[in-house]
């Protein structure tokens, strides 16, 4: 098969969250399975320096943006056989310090920046000599690509245009913006209606994607069901229900070449299920690094992530506070909303021997937190898939999660299945429910055989990308056969 993926962030080139991990790993897995695979993504600052093998293609893109014409260059990299990454060099749009925001506010021209990206993807899909047969776009930033492709097929004579697939990684981000941005699409206004790109008078990238993509996937089976309900559908549940037959949930895999405990440059002490002494040594390293008292016997809880409403930080802080009378430690690494950053810093200031908070984005530290902690906290309000709990399972760190989305699909509580249990789950979105789950963890910590049982189930679980990629290939085949 010939597949072109597109995303605004792709690991290891750029990343703000799991989206980048997922697309980077899917691309590798598709190529490894023998398929010709391309990935389109912006060229952000620093990528050329970190990947000196990038070379410029002899290709000048000139795309209409409203009444203007905007040009871009294309850089390529071949990280492995059958895989080519195409980086769109457009400095005015992409040469910025961070990907989407400045000082906690979205860049005001994000719609324009990502209409350009959506167009660049359609342009490459049309003119790349290897003629991709399927274009798979991820999240709102490239959500307009399916419509742009269909438009060029229906009205601009693009014969044998590729089929399209849209993966929804997070319905909370839809690229909804004032209708005035529609001019940058250079599409006729007859797509701007309730069955197309329009949503309550605004342009909505994700709605356009759902309306025009041949197939829609999400990143866990439970989230696929949830988004068809009013509670989780973020206004698009009705449309998703109408496209019910095209909505499929596929749980993300883990890239075990990056996320492992045996050959990991970020971990001083390798370990595995048969020999967990390295895990304890990593815990002590972490405590030392964070300036917490070094003690293997103190149960340590961790959390890494974007500090936004989605992640349940408003539960986490008061729930922790209610158990900080116990001898425990907590480490948090994250960046996001200033109110959450301030509340976490305040907790660390008041409990310096128990709480360590790192604000910002750090590449190696997540591995050390996953390896060093005993428990990983993920009390999300909603969670399309979640990768950190999957990493925790592999690192022998017991996840404590709320039973939503991919968290519910990947974590098994003792009450559900005592034999296969690998974590602790709670369901109410409330401080007492989370505090109770943490207290259960403290009881569990005192029963080494039970700890080992859960840990063993987690470390033996396989969320292999080979299996996940096969599920995507089945979706692609279905679309190509239709």
- Residues lying near ligand ADP in the complex (CB under 6 A) are found at 17-19, 21, 304-306, 333-335, 361-362, 366, 385-388
* The token pair that represents 337 in the structure block: 């909303």
Binding of residue 287 to ligand GLC (CB under 6 A):
no
Contact partner, 478, from ligand ADP, ligand GLC, none, Cβ < 5-8 Å per class: none
Neighbour tally for 462: CB within 10 Å: 11
Q: Which of 255, 341, 383, 413 binds ligand GLC (CB under 6 A)?
A: 383
SS3 291: coil
Q: Give the nearer residue to ligand GLC in terms of CB position, either 252 or 397.
A: 252
Please give the Cα distance from 169 to 49 (Å, whole number). 29
Written as six digits, the tokens of 234 are 């973020």
Given ligand GLC, ligand ADP, none, residue 335, with its beta carbon under 5 to 8 Å by kind, binds ligand ADP
Structure tokens at 414: 């003792």
Residue 435 contacts which entry, ligand GLC, ligand ADP, none (Cβ below 5-8 A, type-dependent): none
Angle between helical axes of 18-32 and 465-481 (0-180°, round to 10)? 80
CB of 323 to ligand GLC, least distance (A): 26
Contact 142, 120 (CB under 8 A): no
3-state secondary structure of 470: helix
Query: Binds 219, which of ligand ADP, ligand GLC, none (CB < 5 to 8 A, cut-off by type)?
Result: ligand GLC
Pairing between β-strand 198-199 and β-strand 202-204 as defined by DSSP bridges: antiparallel
Tokens of 229: 């309900």
Q: Give yes or no for residue 392 binding ligand GLC (CB under 6 A).
A: no
Nearest residue (CB) to ligand GLC, 41 versus 170: 170
Residue closest to ligand GLC, measured at CB? 18
Decide if residue 170 touches ligand GLC (CB under 6 A): yes
267 binds, among ligand ADP, ligand GLC, none (CB under 5 to 8 A by kind): none
Residues in the interface with ligand GLC (CB under 6 A) total 14
Point out which residues pair with 306 in neighbouring strands: 335
Please tell me whether residue 347 adopts helix, strand or coil conformation.
Answer: helix
307 lies in the binding site for ligand GLC (CB under 6 A): no
Beta-strand pair 424-426/398-402: parallel
Contacting ligand GLC (CB under 6 A), which of 252, 287, 303, 332?
252
Number of C-beta neighbours around residue 366 at 10 A: 18
Segment holding 277, helix H or strand E: helix 277-290
410 binds, among ligand GLC, ligand ADP, none (CB under 5 to 8 A by kind): none
Spell out the residues 6+ positions from residue 236 whose beta carbon is closer than 8 angstroms to its own: 171, 174, 199, 206, 207, 210, 227
Interaction of residue 336 with ligand GLC, rule CB under 6 A = no
CB of 116 to ligand ADP, least distance (A): 24
Give the residues across from 284 on adjacent strands. Answer: none
Compare residues 78 and 339 and give the one whose CB is closer to ligand ADP. Answer: 339
Element (H, E) at 426: strand 424-426
> Could you say which of 11, 18, 61, 187 contacts ligand GLC (CB under 6 A)?
18
Interface residues toward ligand GLC, by CB under 6 A: 17-19, 22, 169-170, 219, 252, 383-387, 406
């Amino acid at each position: 098969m010939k597949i072109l993926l597109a995303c605004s962030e792709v690991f290891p080139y750029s990343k703000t969250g799991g989206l980048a991990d997922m697309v980077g790993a899917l691309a590798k897995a598709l190529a490894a399975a023998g398929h010709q695979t391309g990935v389109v993504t912006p060229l952000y600052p620093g990528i050329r320096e970190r990947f000196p093998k990038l070379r410029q293609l002899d290709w000048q893109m000139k795309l209409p943006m409203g009444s203007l014409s905007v040009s871009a260059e294309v850089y390529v990299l071949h990280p492995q056989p059958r895989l080519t990454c195409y980086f769109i060099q457009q400095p005015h749009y992409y040469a910025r310090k961070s990907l989407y925001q400045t000082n906690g506010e979205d860049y005001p021209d994000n719609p324009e920046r990502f209409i350009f990206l959506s167009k660049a993807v359609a342009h490459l899909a049309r003119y790349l000599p290897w003629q991709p047969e399927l274009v798979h776009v991820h999240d709102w930033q490239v959500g307009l690509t399916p419509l742009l492709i269909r438009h060029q097929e229906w009205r601009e004579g693009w014969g044998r245009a590729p089929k399209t697939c849209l993966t929804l990684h997070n319905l909370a981000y839809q690229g909804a913006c004032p209708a005035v941005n529609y001019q940058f699409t250079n599409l006729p206004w007859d797509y701007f209606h309730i069955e197309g790109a329009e949503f309550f008078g605004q342009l909505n990238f994700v709605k356009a994607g759902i309306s025009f993509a041949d197939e829609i996937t999400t990143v866990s089976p439970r989230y696929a069901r949830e988004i068809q309900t009013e509670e989780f559908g973020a206004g698009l549940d009705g449309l998703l229900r109408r496209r019910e037959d095209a909505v499929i949930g596929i749980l993300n895999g883990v890239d075990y070449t990056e996320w492992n405990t045996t050959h990991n440059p970020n971990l001083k002490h390798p370990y595995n299920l048969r020999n967990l002494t390295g895990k304890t040594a990593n815990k002590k390293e972490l405590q030392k690094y964070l300036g917490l008292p070094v003690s293997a016997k103190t149960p340590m809880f961790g959390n890494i992530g974007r500090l936004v409403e989605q992640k349940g930080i408003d539960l986490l802080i008061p729930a922790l506070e209610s158990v900080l009378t116990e001898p425990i430690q907590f480490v948090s690494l994250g960046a996001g909303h200033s109110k959450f950053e301030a509340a976490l810093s305040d907790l660390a200031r008041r409990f310096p021997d128990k709480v360590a908070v790192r604000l910002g984005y750090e590449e190696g530290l997540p591995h050390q937190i996953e390896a060093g902690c005993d428990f990983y906290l993920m009390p999300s309000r909603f969670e399309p898939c979640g990768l950190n709990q999957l990493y925790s399972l592999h690192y022998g760190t017991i996840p404590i999660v709320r039973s939503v989305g991919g968290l519910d699909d990947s974590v098994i509580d003792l009450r559900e299945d005592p034999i296969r249990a690998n974590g602790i789950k709670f369901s109410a979105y409330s401080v007492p429910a989370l505090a109770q789950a943490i207290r259960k963890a403290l009881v569990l910590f005192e029963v080494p055989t039970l700890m080992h049982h859960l840990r063993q189930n987690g470390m033996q679980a396989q969320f292999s990308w080979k299996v996940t990629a096969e599920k995507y290939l089945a979706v692609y085949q279905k679309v190509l056969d239709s």
